[in-house]
Amino acid sequence: MMRAFLSLLFLNLIITVQTPLMAHHGPGPFDRSSGIVLEAAIVTAWRYVHPHASVLVEIETEPGVLESWNIESESPNLLRRMGVLPDFLSEGDVITIHGYSHRTESQTIKLGSLVFDDGREVIVRRGIGDNSNTPQDLVVIGSSQPEGESRGTGGIAGIWAEGDGPEWENFDQATAAGVQWLQDFDVRDDPVRRCITPGFPRIVDQPLGLEIIEQEHQYVFLYETFHAVRRIYMDDREPTERTIPTRMGYSKGRWEDNTLIVETNRLNPLLLTWDGHPLAGGEKTHVTERYRRVGGQLQLELTVEDEVFWSEPLTRTVRYNLAPNLEILDYGCDPTVSTNWRAPE
């Protein structure tokens, strides 16, 4: 076995190009400012499961000494769209791995590309290099208005792929309670690691498809990730004492010109990010969304008010791109596959 070679590289070793299609936002758990190369890595397992596929490998750090690494990849649904299928890797394959190191977990990296021992190179992360790995069913529609679209001034019904957008603003405005929470938070407590839906508003940041269905009295948002469902009520109904808080909350919408404004409350306590930025939920949290369609793009402005953990409203913008050829796929998540989470106390 060749002795493994591990080196830190500058970002330009693996050029990342943010596509206007489907991209996780913000710094995330992996540091893209430097790269890692693992050579002569031997595959011990290929886990093709949600929320992220992963490769377990061993490398020889010195003669007779093996070190285990966890290589996180994309969602299997996204991999399928790239042509990366369950038989992509087998136990015993020898590969060279290019990726990014995890910010908090040692011997864990994000997979960017890999090279097989026969010289074949495969890019398995969206938005790398020349974007040739961009799934063809995520083609962005131009500025033309599709036929049959309701509300010609701003209809939002259709199938959308998440686009780009800046990170949340005002994360530096945590209250004393928010600061303490973040200090105490352990990333293994993120419920997404246990295959629990991230809830709203974090769900808007997930890198898979969104189908919006317009009905007479409501909009139904079908998120491919975790098969999460939201209902935006457009009639005069109001929550009652029987309306309990949920991970998606209770949402009421109204049109103002060509902007759909949605007010959401009655949320469970939730996280906004993988690294623990909290929301108190209940009557302490209120979320306002503003959707505006511009041609083939759906623009979303989010404002989150939470007096428990944040002294100022949190804001961000997300842009979705119309993807009429996108098929919303099944999403199965098995918490028993992941060992890197803690059971709630």
Contact 253, 261 (CB under 8 A): yes
Distance CA 241, CA 289 (A): 24
pLDDT at 106: 85
Q: What is the pTM of this model?
A: 0.75
Secondary structure letter of residue 178 according to DSSP: H
Q: What is the 3-state secondary structure (H, E, C) of 218-268?
A: EEEEEECHHHCEEEEECCCCCCCCCCCCECCCEEEEEEECCEEEEEEECEC
Which has the closest alpha carbon to 230: 255, 244, 245, 212? 212
Quote the tokens at residue 14: 């693996």
162 pLDDT above the threshold of 90? no
Distance CA 319, CA 181 (A): 30
pLDDT at 164: 67
Domain boundaries, the chain: 6-132, 158-322
pLDDT at 2: 40
Which has the closest alpha carbon to 78: 272, 331, 339? 331
pLDDT at 185: 92
pLDDT at 12: 31
On the question of a common fold for 6-132 and 158-322, the answer reads: no
- For 6-23, write each residue's pLDDT tens digit: 333 332 333 232 333 333
Query: What's the mean pLDDT when you consider all of the chain?
Result: 81
SS3 118: coil
pLDDT at 148: 38
User: E strands along 15-87, which residues?
Assistant: 30-47, 54-62, 65-72
pLDDT at 178: 96
What is the radius of gyration, based on Cα positions, of the chain? 21
- Average pLDDT, integer, range 314-328: 90
- For 99-145, write each residue's pLDDT tens digit: 888 877 888 898 888 999 899 998 887 653 333 334 444 444 333 34
Distance CA 104, CA 188 (A): 11
Q: How confident is the model at residue 316 (pLDDT cuts 50, 70, 90)?
A: very high
Secondary structure letter of residue 125 according to DSSP: S
- Average pLDDT, integer, range 141-155: 44
Q: How confident is the model at residue 160 (pLDDT cuts 50, 70, 90)?
A: very high
pLDDT at 343: 56
Distance CA 124, CA 83 (A): 9
The residues that bridge with 260 in the sheet, in sequence order, are 255, 291
Distance CA 114, CA 121 (A): 6
Classify domain 6-132 by CATH number.
Answer: 2.40.50.140
- Average pLDDT, integer, range 277-292: 96
Query: What is the topology classification, in CATH, of domain 158-322?
Result: Lipocalin (2.40.128)
pLDDT at 130: 35
308 pLDDT above the threshold of 90? yes
Contact partners, residue 220, CB within 8 Å, separation at least 6: 212, 213, 229, 230, 231, 232
Please state which of the ranges 143-147, 208-212, 217-221, 226-230 shows the lowest mean pLDDT. Answer: 143-147
Distance CA 179, CA 165 (A): 25
285 pLDDT above the threshold of 90? yes
pLDDT at 96: 93
149 pLDDT above the threshold of 80? no
47 pLDDT above the threshold of 80? yes
pLDDT at 101: 87
- For 163-194, write each residue's pLDDT tens digit: 667 889 999 999 999 999 999 998 888 888 88
Helix (H) or strand (E) holding 93: none
340 pLDDT above the threshold of 70? no
Distance CA 6, CA 38 (A): 5
pLDDT at 10: 30
Q: Please state whether beta strands 259-265 and 285-294 pair in parallel, antiparallel, or not at all (unpaired).
A: antiparallel
Quote the tokens at residue 154: 């701003």
Helix (H) or strand (E) holding 299: strand 297-306
Contact partners, residue 122, CB within 8 Å, separation at least 6: 84, 88, 113, 114, 115, 116
Place of tokens 């970002």: 11
